[in-house]
Amino acid sequence: MTNDRIALVTGASRGLGLEMCRQLAARGVTVLLSARDLASAHKAAEIVRADGGDCRPIALDVTDAGQIAAVAAELDSSYGRLDVLVNNAAILTDLGVQPSATDEAVLRANLDVNFVGPFMLIAALSPLLRRSDGARVLNLGTQVGSFGNLDDTRSPLVDDICPAYQASKIALNAATALFAKELRQEGITVNSLCPGWVMTDMGHEDLPDYGDAVAPMSPTEAVAQMLWLVEDEPSPPTGRFWSQGEEIPW
């Protein structure tokens, strides 16, 4: 795709979000780099701009309806449309906790950041996505949040327990399918993608039963294999769940 394109990436202060901004900007996309802390967004945007990219820092806590509305208004007045939305922001705060021991506040927080926020963001930005010539929405999911892996004893992921995170990412996959269905006729694609196990703050977490193993992928490698869905493929599929270029089960 060529590039007077406008992208918004959530949770881009660090990790995969920041790297997504860097790689999109390197391709000539105008990137709105959002973070819940504006100072962090400024710092991250400097890193992107150091590589020559066009990058604007903005404040967005995805759980804040007022900030979502403000970002939609800002995009409307500055650009009149949105071409790429990457719902990347997430928390994982219940690793190794059994469902019966889950704290209600933790459950609600994971659902808010990982599901309700991205859902309401897509809804708020859908008028702007509709004005794009082929908008792409990418929701960052996880195979740990693949429904089939939850209690399948043959799955290598069956012992990765983080119920609030898992439930929130399964709900996010539902959002992918629902918005894909609504927006398909307008040429807007909506997909979920698991990046694999990536060396970020989240990917550094000690995963149960992984011993001393470390994440095998860098953010640079992980983002490089995501871009086909938002930039490279002229007619990408929609309403699907992907990892490493392959479709995977919900």
Ligand X SMILES: NC(=O)c1ccc[n+]([C@@H]2O[C@H](COP(=O)([O-])OP(=O)(O)OC[C@H]3O[C@@H](n4cnc5c(N)ncnc54)[C@H](OP(=O)(O)O)[C@@H]3O)[C@@H](O)[C@H]2O)c1
Spatial separation of the C-alpha atoms in residues 233 and 242, rounded to whole Å: 14
Cβ partners under 8 Å of residue 127, min gap 6: 72, 76
Closer residue to ligand X in complex, CB, 3/40: 40
- Cβ of residue 133: shortest distance to ligand X, in angstroms? 27
Beta-ladder partners of 220: none
Q: How far apart are CA 10 and CA 18, in angstroms?
A: 9
Which CB, 37 or 186, lies closer to ligand X?
37
Q: Give the residue with the Cβ less far from ligand X, 183 or 223.
A: 223
What secondary structure does DSSP assign to 16-71, as a single string?
HHHHHHHHHHHTT-EEEEEESSHHHHHHHHHHHHHTT--EEEEE--TT-HHHHHHH
Under DSSP, the state recorded for 198 is B
Q: Decide: 69 and 117 in contact? Cβ < 8 Å.
A: no
Identity of the amino acid at 116: V
Smallest distance from the beta carbon of 165 to ligand X, in angstroms? 7
Nearest to ligand X of 89, 180 (CB atom): 89
User: Minimum distance from CB of 102 to ligand X (Å)?
Assistant: 18
131 or 177: whose CB is closer to ligand X? 177
Binding site for ligand X (CB under 6 A): 10-11, 13-17, 35-37, 40, 60-63, 88-91, 113, 140, 142, 194-195, 197-198, 200-203, 215
CB of 56 to ligand X, least distance (A): 16
- The token pair at 247 is 């479709």
Comparing CB distances to ligand X, the nearer of 96 and 187 is: 96
Q: Tell me the one-letter amino acid at 246.
A: E
**Shortest approach of ligand X to residue 28 CB, angstroms?**
23
* Rounded least distance, CB 128 to ligand X, Å: 19
